[in-house]
Amino acid sequence: MNEWWRGAVIYQIYPRSFQDSNGDGIGDLPGIIDRLEHVAALGADAIWISPFFRSPMKDFGYDIAGYTEIDPMFGTLEDYDRLVATAHELGLKVVIDQVYSHSSDLCPWFAESRQARTGPRADWYVWADPKPDGTPPNNWLSVFGGPAWDWEPRRRQYYLHNFLAEQPDLNLLNPEVQDAVLDVARFWLDRGTDGFRLDVVNFYAHDAQLRDNPPRPHPDPVKPYWLQRPLYNRSRPETLPIIERLRGVLDGYDARMLVGEIASDKPVQDLVEYTDGRKRLHTAYTFVFLREPVTAGGIRATLAEVAKAPDGAWPSWAFSNHDVPRVVTRWGAGRDRTAFAKQMIALLCSLRGTAFLYQGEELGLPNADVPFEDLQDPEGIRFWPDHISRDNARTPMVWEASAHNAGFSDGVPWLPVDIAQRTLAVDRQAGDPSSVLAFTKRFLAWRKTKPALITGDIRFFDLPDPVLGFERFGAGGEALVCVFNLGTEPVRVRLPLEVRPLDQDLALPGEVDGDLVDLPVCAAVFARP
């Protein structure tokens, strides 16, 4: 069995912001093709491309109107086929987003469903009668603010939308809807796609009784959604059979994979449940390392809990993506930015699991500064200024420091290029052996020679915060000791065993003397027991 995804490094491409090939200010599939050699040179194993399907772009592609169509702003099906072929020639697998939780309100499926309570697609979305006083059927809230219900006068009913009102929720409890999305999956698999990243996979099912969600206290509720425990419209047990049907489709193809995105208040429990056995997801990631500040103890506890899963659930981890502030900004306060970025690359790619790198992470990019008048993100606009817009992590990739728009586009970019990021452009870092880019290439190349770091098990040392220490060991007897200082002061720590430093130049300052390890700020040590 070719489990290429197990321990892989997958590079996320946000297509709007990666490379524009035609001067319209929006990145596209031909632009991605032009830059694939950059990704391959990093040492990544695969790319994950965020949505590029036909869409009105109310949520920038996560509102799909045509599930088997390329939006013209991104190119054509022929461009996609060429992208897959080029990626495969470079040794890269191709993973694409699939958004089955909801569609656009301009999707033909919804256009038909909203017309009447009878008809072939009448029950393809989640419809409910109002309460006697005309209010929504229950208290469920939208992630993007306000009730999760909107009124459709033609049916005299409300429809569910866990996100924007323009993103009605598909009724995946309906087997016909499941059949439809499985046909979508087959369409992309037949074109050579190697895997799917399933957007908000734990939103696939809802409580058929439409019971009210219980309250949840929150100390600073910028969003009303935070004041509710989404017990009945998220992470429902009815989701698992849907996932199993989808896994059955992928099992009919060679070497394909499913990775799920899980946004949950019980993230590790859901991750384990959704990847349990060989009938569900191959792997999944949560927001546990994408939201709150993370401590050494928190990382240790999270991975230890996953490792206790009876069927050996395989996790995925990310420190940055298109929905959250970049890790250098989110966690790096009080540290040298370049050193911290290198340490985060090393840490992410040393944990047991599959690693997801977000475009620009290999450059150590911080969040961009996007003025309010330039914001595009509907969530960022609605909750400004108390909630950081997703746009700050979505600005165009910086390729050439002195070029127009940093080499991203000859036109006016859909989001402004941050001047402060130009000094970190690819061409500036390419010839600098001390750069984050050079380190990323060096580390990923070195990692490929260490099977224990790719598929090995993990055992944590009982060390005090802010030091994180663990051993990775593989079936062939190889073992590596990894120790990180995640604090803002130098530390000396005693390990429970003596170690020998490895002969490698990873430029992560740290010294080993028997069982003693000296770690400056942002340092790490890799050693043999």
Q: How far is CA 117 from the centre of its chain?
A: 37
**Of the candidates 320, 394, 389, 329, the residue with the CA atom closest to the CA atom of residue 144:** 389
pLDDT tens digits, residue range 213-223? 999 999 999 99
Catalytic residue among 20, 59, 71, 261: 261
What's the sign of the alpha-carbon dihedral 297, 260, 354, 396?
negative
pLDDT tens digits, residue range 240-269? 999 999 999 999 999 999 999 999 999 999
Contact between residue 302 and residue 268 where contact means Cβ atoms under 8 Å apart: yes
C-alpha–C-alpha distance, residues 260 and 271, integer Å = 9
What's the pLDDT score for residue 335?
94
Range 9-101+175-447 classified under CATH 3.20.20.80: yes
Per residue, the 3-state secondary structure of 485-515, as one string, reads ECCCCCEEEECCCCCEECCCCCCCCCEEECC
What's the pLDDT score for residue 347?
97
Mean pLDDT, rounded, of the chain: 96
Per residue, the 3-state secondary structure of 221-246, as one string, reads CCCHHHHECCCCCCCCCCHHHHHHHH
C-alpha–C-alpha distance, residues 121 and 76, integer Å = 28
What's the pLDDT score for residue 293?
80
Report, as an integer, the average pLDDT of 456-481.
93
Other Cβ atoms less than 10 A from the Cβ of 522: the count is 25
Q: Which CATH superfamily is domain 456-528 in?
A: Golgi alpha-mannosidase II (2.60.40.1180)
The residue count for the chain: 529
Domain boundaries, the chain: 9-101+175-447, 102-171, 456-528
Catalytic residue among 194, 199, 362, 377: 199
Contact between residue 273 and residue 240 where contact means Cβ atoms under 8 Å apart: yes
Domains 102-171 and 456-528 belong to one CATH topology: no
pLDDT tens digits, residue range 394-435? 999 999 999 999 999 999 999 999 999 999 999 999 989 999
Is residue 504 very low, low, confident or very high in pLDDT (cuts 50, 70, 90)? Answer: low
261 part of the active site: yes
Contact between residue 276 and residue 311 where contact means Cβ atoms under 8 Å apart: yes
Q: Please give the CATH topology (third level) of the domain spanning 102-171.
A: Oligo-1,6-glucosidase; domain 2 (3.90.400)
Q: How far is CA 171 from the centre of its chain?
A: 24
Amino acid present at 449? T
Other Cβ atoms less than 10 A from the Cβ of 130: the count is 14
